[in-house]
Amino acid sequence: MIQTVRGTRDILPADMPLWHRVEDVAREGFRRYGFQEIRTPIFEKTELFARGVGEATDIVHKEMYTFIDRGREDREGESLTLRPENTASVVRSYIQHRMYADKSSGESTKLFYTGPMFRRERPQAGRYRQFYQIGVEVLGTSDDPAIEAEVIEMLDWFLKELKIPNTTLLINSVGEPATRAVYLEQLRRAIEPHLDELCGDCRHRFETNPLRVFDCKVESCQKIILTLPTITDSLDDGSREHFEQFKAHLDARGIAYTINPRMVRGLDYYTKTAFEIVAHDGLGAQNTIVGGGRYDGLSETLGGPPTKGFGFAFGLDRMVMALPEEEAELLRAADAPDIYIVFLGQGARNHALMVAKELRSAGLAVGMEFEDRKMKKAMTQAAKSKARYALIIGDDEVTSGRYGLKDLTTGEQEALSLAGIAEKLK
């Protein structure tokens, strides 16, 4: 038997109502906060991610699904990659379509996306090789910290609306590239004496980008990480002031946060503000549900005009896992048909098919089997469908034009015309 590839999975119908709920709430938030949807291709030129995400990141260094496309007679095939994240693609699109061209000064382009991403990570609960993200990007000429706080305010609304309990917002500033270079030297000097004690990955990070050492989850490395100087201690004045204003905007909105000076995020493009949201219930070790930050300068790296950028991505897989069980049950129950038609005898069947058509035209979700069954069996089927009502159609109902509508929760039954039923269930 052929099964799914390691690290991938089928999202089955029973879980779809939860996925739809998260997607619907996100879309409603995007509508309220003025974000428009963008869809970029699932594969792009490898160079986009190499430059955009950064050669030294784990993602580019060891997690990308990269392949050489078929060439043509006169040309070699080019290197393509299944997108490991969507920010680089959205910024590419922003540049390619000159979305900045018709904007007045200070006006932002606010985009959102949803779709699958691909990373060859070690699979575990909440970590997949194909996973789904919903994210936003605010692009333009302004790096106002109020933009950041407003985006986080929207996330705060999502979490409340989805009734996700017990989350922590972690924030940090990773400064400007110029000051970071000075700090990186300082960090290298601090790491060097411990090189023998660090894992292989950390030794590689030490060579390519020592900041990434902070991402390491290996316990023996964690002990050393705690002794290292943090970037927050050597911020430039501009970044420090920006961070202060960002915090003040959060305070004004009553949004609680924890400053984590060791949170540097797994991508190279971040400048100044970085943040994560962690969920404490329903998830195991992989409990970061949202990650984001500022990435001024990414556009320039990709050959575009000077652009400020701020955004986040949340993991849809993890957001669904974080939904409280009672909420999940309600969502699953609401997915049932409004009404389930039970017919008795071949004569009633044709009539029942027309009744189903009419009720569906009136906007109701109608369940019905095609096979003639005994009353008891048919009622069991109605109960199994989780429909709120069963509609019973036998020869008498066909002649009278009034049908037995049975409330499957209370067991009460009343005789109604089709119009009466449509009216009652509206």
Select the span of 31-39, 69-77, 119-127, 369-377 touching ligand AMP (CB under 6 A): 119-127
Q: Are 317 and 115 in contact, with CB atoms under 8 Å apart?
A: no
Nearer to ligand AMP, 140 or 291 (CB): 291
Out of 91, 231, 290, 408, name the contact with ligand AMP by CB under 6 A: 290
Nearer to ligand AMP, 54 or 394 (CB): 54
Nearer to ligand AMP, 96 or 124 (CB): 124
Nearer to ligand AMP, 23 or 121 (CB): 121
Nearer to ligand AMP, 51 or 388 (CB): 51
Residue whose pair of structure tokens reads 């699904």 in the numeric block: 65
Q: Residue 59 and residue 105: Cα distance in Å, rounded?
A: 35
Select the span of 9-17, 118-126, 178-186, 251-259 touching ligand AMP (CB under 6 A): 118-126
Out of 51, 52, 64, 85, name the contact with ligand AMP by CB under 6 A: 85
Nearer to ligand AMP, 7 or 404 (CB): 7
Q: What is residue 72's DSSP assignment?
A: B
Select the span of 23-31, 74-82, 282-290, 372-380 touching ligand AMP (CB under 6 A): 282-290
What residues contact 67, with CB distance under 8 A and at least 6 apart?
79, 80, 81
Residue environment code for 193-224, b if the CB has 16+ CB neighbours within 10 A, otherwise e:
ebeeebeebbebbbeebbbbbbbbeeeebeeb
Q: What is residue 320's DSSP assignment?
A: H
Instruction: Give the nearest distance from C-beta 203 to ligand AMP in angstroms.
Output: 22
Instruction: Give the nearest distance from C-beta 83 to ligand AMP in angstroms.
Output: 11
Q: What is residue 70's DSSP assignment?
A: P
Instruction: Give the nearest distance from C-beta 130 to ligand AMP in angstroms.
Output: 8
The reply to whether 275 sits near ligand AMP by the rule CB under 6 A is no
Q: How many residues bind ligand AMP (CB under 6 A)?
A: 18
Of 192, 183, 263, which is closest to residue 224 (Cα–Cα)?
A: 192
Out of 93, 232, 288, 381, name the contact with ligand AMP by CB under 6 A: 288
Nearer to ligand AMP, 59 or 359 (CB): 59
Out of 133, 232, 299, 307, name the contact with ligand AMP by CB under 6 A: 133
> Of 223-262, which residues contact ligand AMP (CB under 6 A)?
none
Out of 30, 94, 100, 128, name the contact with ligand AMP by CB under 6 A: 128
Q: Residue 205 and residue 213: Cα distance in Å, rounded?
A: 6
Q: Residue 8 and residue 327: Cα distance in Å, rounded?
A: 26
Nearer to ligand AMP, 317 or 338 (CB): 317
The reply to whether 369 sits near ligand AMP by the rule CB under 6 A is no
How is 200-257 classified by DSSP, letter by letter? HHHHHHHHH-GGGGGG---HHHHHHHTTSPPGGGG--HHHHHHHHHHHHHHHHTT---
Nearer to ligand AMP, 116 or 404 (CB): 116
Q: Residue 76 and residue 59: Cα distance in Å, rounded?
A: 26
Out of 9, 45, 120, 127, name the contact with ligand AMP by CB under 6 A: 127
Nearer to ligand AMP, 108 or 167 (CB): 167
Nearer to ligand AMP, 110 or 265 (CB): 265
The reply to whether 291 sits near ligand AMP by the rule CB under 6 A is yes
Select the span of 197-205, 249-257, 285-293, 393-401 touching ligand AMP (CB under 6 A): 285-293
User: With helix as H, strand as E and coil as C, how does 321-371 read?
Assistant: HHCCHHHHHHHHHCCCCCEEEEECCHHHHHHHHHHHHHHHHCCCCEEECCC
Q: Residue 393 and residue 321: Cα distance in Å, rounded?
A: 41
Out of 15, 23, 121, 358, name the contact with ligand AMP by CB under 6 A: 121
Cβ-closest position to ligand AMP: 315
Which tokens is 277 given?
A: 């949201």
In a 13 Å sphere around the CA of 259, the CA atoms on its Cβ side amount to 14
> Of 312-341, which residues contact ligand AMP (CB under 6 A)?
313-315, 317-318
Which tokens is 179 given?
A: 């000051």
Determine the 3-state secondary structure of 124 from DSSP.
strand
- What residues does 171 pair with on adjacent strands? 259, 275
Q: Which residues bind ligand AMP (CB under 6 A)?
A: 85, 119, 121, 126-128, 131, 133, 266, 288-291, 313-315, 317-318
